[in-house]
A and B are shown apart, each in its own frame.
Chain A
Amino acid sequence: MAVRAERARPWVLLAPSLTVVTLLLVIPTGFVVAYSFWQRTVTGLEVPALNLANWAEVLTDGFYRAILWQSLRYAAITTLACALLGYVPAYFLVHTRFRNKALLILLLLLPFWISYIIRTLSWIHILGTNGVVNYGLRATGMTDQPVRMLYDEFSVIMGFVHAFLPYMILNIYVSLEGIDRSLVDAARSLGCTGWQAFREVTLPLSLPGLAAGSLLVFVLTGGSYITPMILGGPDNAMFAGIIFDTIIVQLDWPLGSALSIVLLAVLGTVVVLYTRFMSLSQVYKSFG
Chain B
Amino acid sequence: MVRGVFTAWNGIRFFTGLVYLFTFAPIAVVVLLSFNDSMFGSFPLTGFSLRWFGTLAANEAIMRAFKTSLLLGSLTAVISTAIGVAACIAIVRYEFPGKELVNTLLVTPILVPEVVLGVALLLFLKWLDFSRSFGVLLLGHVILTLPYVVLVVQARLYGIRRVYEEAALSLGANRMQAFREVTMPLLMPTIFAGMLFALTISFDNVTATMFWKSAGMETVPTQIFGMLRNSISPEINALGTVMIVITVGLPLVAGGVVRYFGRARV
Which residues of A line the B interface, CB within 8 A? 7, 9-11, 13-14, 16-18, 20-21, 24-29, 31-32, 35, 85-86, 88-89, 91-93, 107-108, 110-119, 121-126, 128, 130-132, 135, 162, 165-166, 169, 194-195, 219, 222-226, 229-230, 240, 243-244, 247-248, 253, 256-257, 260, 263-264, 267, 271, 280, 283-284, 287-288
Contacts and interface: CB of A to CB of B under 8 A. Distances in A.
Contacts, number: 245
B57 interface: no
B47 interface: no
A38 to B, nearest CB: 10
Interface stretch (B48-56, B118-126, B161-169): B118-126
A13 B42 contact: no
Contact of B247 (A31, A115, A123, A194): A115
Interface in B1-59: 8, 12-13, 15-16, 19-20, 22-27, 29-30, 33, 40, 42-44
Contacts of A244: 115, 210-211
A131 B43 contact: yes
B29 A132 contact: yes
28 contacts: A11-B90, A13-B86, A13-B87, A13-B90, A21-B146, A24-B139, A24-B142, A25-B109, A25-B112, A25-B121, A28-B120, A32-B123, A85-B22, A92-B13, A92-B15, A116-B206, A117-B204, A118-B224, A118-B244, A121-B232, A162-B22, A223-B116, A243-B119, A256-B119, A257-B119, A263-B113, A284-B110, A288-B155
Contacts of B104: 280
Given A118-B240, A121-B224, A125-B42, A113 B247 contact: yes
Majority SS of interface residues in chain A? helix
B75 interface: no
Contacts of B113: 219, 222-223, 240, 263-264, 267
Nearest to B114: A223
B228 interface: yes
Given A113-B248, A116-B206, A288-B155, A25 B120 contact: yes
A117 B116 contact: no
B236 interface: yes
A223 B207 CA distance: 9
A20 B83 contact: yes
Contacts of B206: 116-117, 226
B143 A24 contact: yes
B116 A264 contact: yes
Given A115-B204, A118-B224, A17 B123 contact: no
B244 A115 contact: yes
Nearest to A129: B42
A167 B91 CA distance: 26
Interface string B214-252: 000000110011001000100010011001100110010
Contacts of A35: 123
A84 B204 CA distance: 27
B42 A118 contact: no
Given A20-B83, A162-B22, A230-B228, A128 B42 contact: yes
B105 A24 contact: no
A116 B86 contact: no
A17 B225 contact: no
B211 A247 contact: yes
Contact of A132 (B43, B139, B203): B43
A253 B211 CA distance: 12
Contacts of A260: 115-116, 119-120
Q: Which 10 A-B pairs have the closest CB atoms?
A: A288-B155, A223-B113, A122-B26, A28-B124, A28-B120, A13-B90, A10-B90, A10-B94, A16-B83, A17-B87
